[in-house]
Amino acid sequence: MSGIPSTSDSVTLDSASTLGRIAFEPVETIAFWSAVALPLVYLPLLAGGFESGQFTLFIGLIALHVAMLALGRGHGQE
């Protein structure tokens, strides 16, 4: 064995990579637009002040926003 991948291995890897990109693209798009829209949800919470349990909701929204920013960061860069 020479350690050089065969042509069929390269084709398989290319196909898997393409399928992965095709499968991830909608997730990336949804994450990007969610990250754009999520700050609109903050406004009523911030304007009305935090009542019982809303601070936890606010922290959860911040965590969700960070996750959406991370997942959607590559949207539109192809």
In a domain, 9, yes or no: no
In a domain, 41, yes or no: yes
Q: What is the pLDDT of residue 42?
A: 86
Question: From residue 49, how far is each of 26, 27, 54, 66 by CA, in Å?
Answer: 35, 33, 9, 22
Residue 77's domain comprises: 28-78
Q: What is the pLDDT of residue 70?
A: 92
In a domain, 22, yes or no: no
Instruction: Give the count of domains, the chain.
Output: 1
To the question of pTM greater than 0.85 for the whole model, the response is no
> Tens-digit pLDDT profile for the chain (78 aa)?
556 655 555 666 666 677 767 777 888 999 999 999 999 988 888 888 888 888 888 899 999 999 999 999 888 776
